[in-house]
Amino acid sequence: MATPHIAAELGDFAPDILMPGDPRRAKRIAEDVLTDARLITDVRGILGYTGTFESRRVSVMASGMGQPSITIYATELFQFLGAKRIIRIGTAGGLSPKVAIGDVVVGTSAHTDSAMTAARIPGVHYSHAPSFALASAAVAAASAASSDGSKVHAGPLFSSDHFYLSRPELMAGLTAYGTLGVEMEAAALYAVAAEFDAEALAIVTVTDLIATGEGMSSDDRESKFLTAVSLGLAAFKNS
């Protein structure tokens, strides 16, 4: 059945879905990576496609920006449209001195200060964790994923509701406790997957460094995400 935000029927989506934030990035993955991809939904400009990769059905659909947006789409995909596994393919600001621009982070946990989590289980500081099977498969595939000198890291992310708010003390504290990067969706995706007994993972490319303000060019932003895509597809295949 079509949902309020996705114009698709049960069976239109594959059980495995890659989920970038940007609809144009979803379109590029469908056209450049998948075979015989067809457009399934374009409600509110959020594009979703299903095709094949190495003879395996795979879908790709944008999530928009932020935890409320990805919560809506992931909920409808898991609850009504047959999704079993969603891997977010996104970007992050680097926090740890261990990560460099162009590196990829497999999010093995996700901190957040969002009130969305507090509303799920009142009184509990919920731990946002991905599918172990997906995360371990992505990490195992990392050695063959990059040919441009960038590195793949596994570790915690911080999912923020604020893009422009400067919070140097908070970022310093997260960095001191081993957080690798800050982004805006992983924690919400992990919580939705847990709610529906499904699997999720976030694989993000570091596009800027919070401490220095150094950033990746817009052209590189469009090309560097392919390492994350390859890790996501390997995770689907091998987990």
CA angle 144, 145, 146 (to 5 degrees): 105
Which residue type occupies 140?
Answer: A
Catalytic residue check, 208: yes
Q: How far is CA 183 from CA 76, 93, 206, 207, in A?
A: 22, 7, 10, 11
| The Cα angle at residue 29 between residues 220 and 92, in degrees rounded to 5 | 45
Helix (H, G, I), strand (E, B) or coil at 13: coil
Element (H, E) at 25: helix 23-32
Structure tokens at 65: 């920006």
Catalytic entry in 148, 208, 219, 220: 208
Radius of gyration of the chain from its Cα atoms, rounded to whole angstroms: 17
Residue labelled with tokens 């969603």 = 86
Question: In angstroms, rounded to a whole number, what is the distance separating the alpha carbons of residues 200 and 63?
Answer: 14
Strand partners, 86: 17, 200
Are 59 and 13 contacting, i.e. CB atoms less than 8 angstroms apart? yes
Task: Give the DSSP per-residue string, 187-198.
Answer: HHHHHHHHHTT-
List beta partners, residue 52: 35, 57
Q: Annotated active-site positions, please?
A: 208
